[in-house]
Chains A and B, each alone.
Chain A
């Protein structure tokens, strides 16, 4: 079953702008992860945030986690054309496997 749901489904921004996408989930989790997928390729792990963490940074990425609302957000700052991809959240609900959402497709226009 897909636990995470991303919002919006698609996002189009100008190069240099910030992109924000959200993920909501249903059950308690051990950690939440974000992945990127370029068209026709495998997924690449971006960042992991544990249930006792509220915010995490990695380069131009900022992830927040609100366990009371069962939601997470991914912010990409100063976007580049190379950031054009689909972004997925995945939840680890204490059962040793990840459940993925349907993803947000981000298009960065030059």
Chain B
């Protein structure tokens, strides 16, 4: 079955540590996105990529980094510069361009310990 796989489901980070969240899709979608969701709030865009080897900052990119070396993969690194990383992270993909719904992964819950 086609879909998006996010791993791990739960992740614990120590202060000052970088962690990487995985997002893989087999939908042959060109575009991929990372959103952050805090309790009781909507989704805020961190980074997005319309095509391989190209990506753009979203509304809250500070303290995060991404790469897009393969069409299927869009990993997100939460760096130590992100001061409040505890949140639910959602990855999504869509065909390139406008007018398409997104397919979301099941999310990674990151907690700072």
Contact = CB atoms under 8 A, between A and B. Distances in A.
B99 interface: yes
Interface residues of A, number: 27
Nearest to A42: B104
Contacts, number: 67
A49 B13 CA distance: 40
B7 to A, nearest CB: 13
Interface in A69-110: 88, 90, 92, 94, 96-103
A57 interface: no
A60 interface: no
A44 B103 CA distance: 7
Contact of B107 (A35, A41, A94, A102): A41
Interface string B22-62: 00000000010101000011111100101000000011000
A26 interface: no
B98 interface: yes
A100 B37 CA distance: 10
Given A97-B48, A101-B42, A50 B99 contact: yes
B98 A94 contact: yes
Nearest to A5: B42
B2 interface: no
B43 A88 contact: yes
Given A40-B107, A42-B90, A100-B35, A33 B44 contact: no
